[in-house]
């Protein structure tokens, strides 16, 4: 049976039988992969630590007739805070669900792998979970090829600097005042929010740690990016309600 190596993050695990589980991995080499981890729920099992949700590990797998099987794994980083702190856990579950819903199995994309790792770092020890998720959402959409048009009017190509703008999820970008009518559901977008979106596309996650945003800008960022994602999603996200609940309740 052919063996292969993967560097991967565990997105999900699902129990199988008494001691096994099926894990969904997002790997650097092969994108999303599902595999069986035999015995991984037994205490002291060598697969136990590395197959917990959000763990980052090196895996050795062998392929068989059905799902591939994990033979060995070596934990690189456990991200255990994401399984302990309710708000951080909800945010990580949201990220994992987006990877699961919008990415097909076996599509390699190293950019998405490194975005996942940097996002888990931000969610683990960053101060501003809210802004980290907005940054993640825009970078994620861009890496999938759905980057919204933010430098000119998405309909007429006209200038947008200093003008009253709206954002169209349907057209995938900013509308100048002459083109508002192109999408009756377009939402308002202030210049401050537009600038923040553009900064997200060029800055590193490290910069995000020192960035702040006014409450009005945060609300617009959340709304605009949610609209962008909703046009791509096959169904409503289960994790979004959990996230809204823990954030709203201030757990
Ligand atoms: Zn226009």
Q: What is the pLDDT of residue 82?
A: 94
- What's the Cα-to-Cα distance from 137 to each of 7, 31, 72, 153, 203, rounded to whole Å? 23, 18, 32, 21, 14
Cβ–Cβ contacts within 10 Å for residue 147, how many? 16
* Cα 104 to middle of ligand 1, angstroms: 35
The answer to whether 64 touches 1, Cβ cutoff 8 Å, is yes
pLDDT digits (tens, 9 = 90+) for 167-180: 999 999 999 999 99
Q: What is the pLDDT of residue 127?
A: 87
* Cα 82 to middle of ligand 1, angstroms: 43
pLDDT digits (tens, 9 = 90+) for 73-113: 999 999 999 999 999 999 999 999 999 999 999 899 999 99
Neighbours of ion ligand 1 (CB under 5 A): 153, 155-156, 158, 176, 178-179
Mean pLDDT across the stretch 183-208?
94
ipTM of the complex: 0.99
* Cα 157 to middle of ligand 1, angstroms: 6
* Cα 160 to middle of ligand 1, angstroms: 8
pLDDT digits (tens, 9 = 90+) for 127-168: 899 999 999 999 999 999 999 999 999 999 999 999 999 999
pLDDT digits (tens, 9 = 90+) for 22-56: 999 999 999 999 999 999 999 999 999 999 999 99
* Cα 226 to middle of ligand 1, angstroms: 22
Confidence bin at 251 (pLDDT 50/70/90): low
Confidence bin at 249 (pLDDT 50/70/90): low
* Cα 155 to middle of ligand 1, angstroms: 5
Instruction: Sketch out the chain's domains with CATH numbers.
Output: 3-79 (2.40.50.140), 81-249 (1.20.1440.120)
* Surface-to-core class of residue 17, CB atoms within 10 Å of its CB (0-12 exposed, 13-18 middle, 19+ buried): exposed
* Cα 136 to middle of ligand 1, angstroms: 28
**Cα–Cα distance for residue pair 215/205, rounded to 1 Å:** 21
The CA-based angle 229-131-188, given to 5 degrees, is 55
């Amino acid at each position: 049976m052919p063996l292969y190596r993967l560097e991967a993050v565990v997105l999900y695990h699902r129990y199988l039988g008494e001691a096994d589980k099926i894990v969904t991995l997002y790997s650097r080499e092969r994108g999303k992969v599902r595999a069986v981890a035999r015995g991984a729920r037994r205490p002291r099992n060598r697969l136990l630590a590395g197959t917990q949700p959000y763990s980052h590990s090196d895996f050795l797998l062998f392929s068989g007739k059905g799902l591939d099987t994990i033979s060995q794994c070596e934990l690189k980083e456990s991200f255990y805070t994401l399984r302990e702190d309710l708000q951080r856990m909800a945010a990580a579950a949201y990220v994992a669900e987006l990877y699961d819903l919008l990415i097909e199995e076996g599509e390699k994309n190293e950019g998405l792998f490194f975005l996942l790792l940097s996002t888990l770092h931000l969610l683990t020890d960053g101060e501003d979970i809210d802004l980290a998720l907005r940054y993640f959402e825009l970078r994620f959409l861009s890496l999938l090829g759905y980057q919204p048009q933010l430098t000119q009017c998405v309909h007429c190509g006209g200038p947008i600097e200093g003008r009253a703008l709206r954002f169209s999820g349907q057209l995938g970008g900013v509308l100048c005042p002459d083109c508002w009518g192109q999408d009756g559901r377009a939402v308002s977008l202030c210049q401050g929010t537009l600038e923040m979106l553009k900064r997200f596309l060029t800055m590193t996650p490290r910069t995000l740690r020192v960035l702040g945003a006014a409450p009005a800008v945060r609300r617009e960022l959340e709304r605009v990016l949610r609209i962008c994602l909703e046009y791509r999603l096959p169904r409503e996200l289960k994790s979004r309600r959990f996230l809204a609940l823990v954030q709203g309740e201030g757990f």
